[in-house]
Amino acid sequence: MSEVENTSFEECLQRLMTSLEASLYEEATSQLSDLHAAEIARLLESVPPKDRIKLWLNIDSATQGDILKDLSEDVLSQLLNEMSVDGIVKATEGLDMDDLADIVPELPESALHNLLLTLDHKHRDHLKQVLSYPEDSAGGLMNIDIITVRDDVNVRTVIRYLRLLKEMPIDTDQVFVVDRTYKYIGSIHISTLLTNEAEQNIKPLINKEHKPILASTPESDVASLFEQRDLISAPVVDDNNQLIGRITIDDVVDVIRDEAEHSVMSMAGLDEEDDVFAPVIESTKSRSIWLGVNLITVFVAVFFIGLFEATLQEKIALAVLMPVVASMGGIAGTQTLILVTRGIATGRVTTSNLKVLMNKEVAIGLLNGMLWSVVIGLATYLWFSDLILSLVIATAIVVNLIFAAFSGAFLPSLLIKFKIDPALAGGVILTTITDVIGFVAFLGLASLVV
């Protein structure tokens, strides 16, 4: 850990790329040896797939295991495919159940079978339990390395028990109190054990303020909870209130980071789990889908232009200026769209305050429409010395900005109702709307007065 972390990462990558470009694979591998697994994971994601595989096969099994849990899906699946079944079993031996459960979906069938055979009965049951919940739920996120105590003992007994364990699982900030049927009662922060006298009975020390998390809770709700309550770990129970695991902050940080990456990447139809250095053909395929969707929407928009061919023929300045109307509507609408989409995602915007927000956004659209219609009208007059054209474009701007605000505010919750991710589809649909309204308002008005 050092204050020059990022610079040194850049230097590491620089040196690694130099070695790889010179095909010095042994030297490259040795450069990785002193690094933290998370850093090696990041370096592997930062080099082209061919070099990545060469590096990977030179890394020892124990380190491979630690690296696996930090890789994005795409790269993870690529590297697992290059490994022997034995290699996979060896590498995944020491992993936590939740990390193992994340890797399982990417495993080849044969490797999964052999892996299950290496686990003892108890661990196999635990893995099956974690896998029985969706990957993006509290159950899929939880780990099973919990420390439990009964409520009829004193501080000394608990500490003696902990000393017997020799060490505690990472991120253990609390031990959980359960009854004899393993039903959750509450938790005791380990600092409480240190600051209380040895003879103190633990009953009054038990924290019962917070309810445990149900295994079926979606991971985004788990993340909100951790953020709001500043938690380090939290107990997870099944439908019978039986303690089955705990979620730790490190996994929640990954959820938060992934959610954030998702909302940025999906704006361009990208997947946050994709390999940045995926092969050209693969990337071309995945990108082309988004281009195809966009092509359909842009053909919808230009179809409306086609309706006004005669008007355009009469006044070619309309053709020159029409992108201005469409573009201003698109920008204004996107501002509202992103504001509302993020507001919904962070819970600040719900059906109960959407109407207030929509009124506000439409008012902003009206005001900005009036402001910029004057500027654009003047600019048009200076360019084409055509008063009617200037008035037409000014009016079209106001109309489009009002509709843009309305659509931007309305669209996210409409898409959510149809189970469509607004971060993914919102932008494309919105700009189609603002393009069409912009073209129709501008050219339609012009056709009436030209």
> Using N-to-C axis directions, what is the helix angle for 37-45 and 73-82, rounded to 10°?
90
300 binds its own copies (CB under 8 A): no
Q: Which is nearer to its own copies, 372 or 406 (CB)?
A: 372
Using CB under 8 A, which of the segments 178-186, 296-304, 387-395, 413-421 binds its own copies?
296-304
Are the CB atoms for 445 and 393 separated by under 8 Å? Answer: no
Distance (Å, whole) CA 111 – CA 86:
8
Token pair belonging to 67: 């690296």
309 binds its own copies (CB under 8 A): yes
Of positions 45, 73, 96, 386, contacts its own copies by CB under 8 A: 45
Of positions 125, 203, 353, 388, contacts its own copies by CB under 8 A: 353
267 binds its own copies (CB under 8 A): yes
C-alpha distances (whole Å) from 396 to each of 372, 380, 391 are 11, 13, 9
339 binds its own copies (CB under 8 A): yes
Of positions 10, 60, 82, 152, contacts its own copies by CB under 8 A: 10
Q: Which is nearer to its own copies, 88 or 395 (CB)?
A: 395
Q: Which is nearer to its own copies, 10 or 82 (CB)?
A: 10
Q: Which is nearer to its own copies, 53 or 339 (CB)?
A: 339
Distance (Å, whole) CA 264 – CA 227:
21
Distance (Å, whole) CA 264 – CA 382:
40
Question: Residue 373 is which amino acid?
Answer: S
31 binds its own copies (CB under 8 A): no
Are the CB atoms for 357 and 409 separated by under 8 Å? Answer: yes
Give bridge partners of residue 392 from the DSSP assignment.
Answer: none
105 binds its own copies (CB under 8 A): no
Using CB under 8 A, which of the segments 81-89, 109-117, 118-126, 323-331 binds its own copies?
323-331
Q: Within a 10 A sphere around the Cβ of 447, how many other Cβ atoms?
A: 17
Distance (Å, whole) CA 252 – CA 256:
6
187 binds its own copies (CB under 8 A): no
Q: Looking only at residues 142 through 181 of this chain, which bind its own copies when binding is defined by CB under 8 A? A: 159, 162-163, 165-168, 170-173
Give SS3 for 325: helix
Q: How far is the CB of 359 from its own copies (least distance, A)?
A: 9
Which positions from 209 to 228 touch its own copies by CB under 8 A, shown as an x/- string? -xxxxx-xx---x--xxxxx
184 binds its own copies (CB under 8 A): no
Distance (Å, whole) CA 373 – CA 100:
59
Using CB under 8 A, which of the segments 58-66, 80-88, 127-135, 295-303 binds its own copies?
295-303
Q: Which is nearer to its own copies, 135 or 254 (CB)?
A: 254
Give SS3 for 236: strand
172's CB contacts (< 8 A; 6+ apart) are 147, 190, 233
436 binds its own copies (CB under 8 A): no
CA quadruple 69, 75, 77, 83: dihedral sign: negative
Of positions 292, 387, 414, 416, contacts its own copies by CB under 8 A: 292
Of positions 19, 129, 368, 434, contacts its own copies by CB under 8 A: 368
Q: How far is the CB of 265 from its own copies (least distance, A)?
A: 6
Q: Which is nearer to its own copies, 89 or 354 (CB)?
A: 354
Distance (Å, whole) CA 350 – CA 331:
24
Of positions 117, 316, 382, 448, contacts its own copies by CB under 8 A: 316
Distance (Å, whole) CA 431 – CA 419:
20
Of positions 57, 85, 116, 319, contacts its own copies by CB under 8 A: 319
> Using N-to-C axis directions, what is the helix angle for 85-92 and 109-118, rounded to 10°?
50
